């Protein structure tokens, strides 16, 4: 008799890293992200028969998004990256802007922390997890229009917060 948990274990082992990175970007803190993802995966296990053959990624992301909002409601907004501003490297030189070199990870995390929960989630789901607008709308339970407007607002805000990377922060939807 096959182990009913084997597909779940295989899924977790295959997808945990990617989901953890998404969670980290959404929460701004890897430890919180670990907890968030872990809780979501436990909930996934509880409903594996129903979700496993469908889209477990979407389910986990939805749980993480809602649980993150709930966590924030319980604990208050925390911006753990804001306390280490000194360590941010200045953007330098007159060379062409290359975000991958010129902007630090800390800069990015600080900027993401300035976004709303939904803006951050839309940004991560759209550009990091490469989900379609419809998939994001289903995950966040909003309309496609909201996804579009939130993505636009998020990128606009990031351009303000990371002017050095403004040239890179133009989404395909915003391209004329």
Q: How far is the CB of 136 from other proteins (least distance, A)?
A: 13
Q: How far is the CB of 1 from other proteins (least distance, A)?
A: 14
Which among 126, 129, 131 has a CA at the least distance from the CA of 169? 126
26 counts as binding other proteins under rule CB under 8 A: no
176 counts as binding other proteins under rule CB under 8 A: no
Q: Give the other-Cβ count within 10 Å of 57's Cβ.
A: 19
12 counts as binding other proteins under rule CB under 8 A: yes
Given candidates 64, 67, 71, 103, which one binds other proteins under the rule CB under 8 A?
A: 103
Q: How far is the CB of 3 from other proteins (least distance, A)?
A: 9
Burial label for 58, CB within 10 Å (0-12, 13-18, 19+), is: middle
- 144-163 residues near other proteins, rule: CB under 8 A: 145-146, 155, 162
162 and 115 in contact (C-beta within 8 Å)?
A: no
**If DSSP codes are grouped into helix, strand and coil, which group holds residue 76?**
coil
84 counts as binding other proteins under rule CB under 8 A: yes
Which residue's entry shows tokens 């989901």?
19
- 36-65 residues near other proteins, rule: CB under 8 A: 38, 41-51, 53-55, 58-59, 62
Q: What is the Cα–Cα distance from 39 to 81, expressed in whole angstroms?
A: 23
132 counts as binding other proteins under rule CB under 8 A: no
């Amino acid at each position: 008799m096959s182990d009913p948990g084997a597909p779940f274990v295989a899924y977790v082992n295959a997808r945990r890293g990617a989901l953890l990175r998404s969670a980290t970007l959404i929460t701004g803190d890897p430890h919180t992200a670990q907890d968030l993802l872990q809780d979501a995966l436990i909930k996934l296990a509880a409903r594996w028969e129903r979700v496993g053959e469908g889209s477990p990624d979407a389910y986990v992301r939805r749980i993480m998004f809602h649980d993150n909002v709930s966590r924030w409601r319980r604990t208050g907004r925390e911006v753990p990256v804001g306390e280490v501003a000194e360590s941010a490297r200045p953007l330098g030189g007159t060379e062409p802007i290359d975000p991958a070199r010129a902007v630090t990870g800390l800069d990015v995390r600080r900027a993401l922390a300035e976004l709303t929960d939904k803006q951050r989630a839309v940004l991560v789901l759209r550009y990091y997890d490469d989900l379609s607008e419809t998939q994001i709308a289903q995950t966040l339970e909003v309309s496609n229009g909201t996804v579009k407007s939130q993505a636009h607002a998020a990128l606009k805000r990031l351009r303000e917060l990371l002017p050095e990377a403004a040239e890179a922060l133009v989404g395909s939807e915003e391209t004329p």
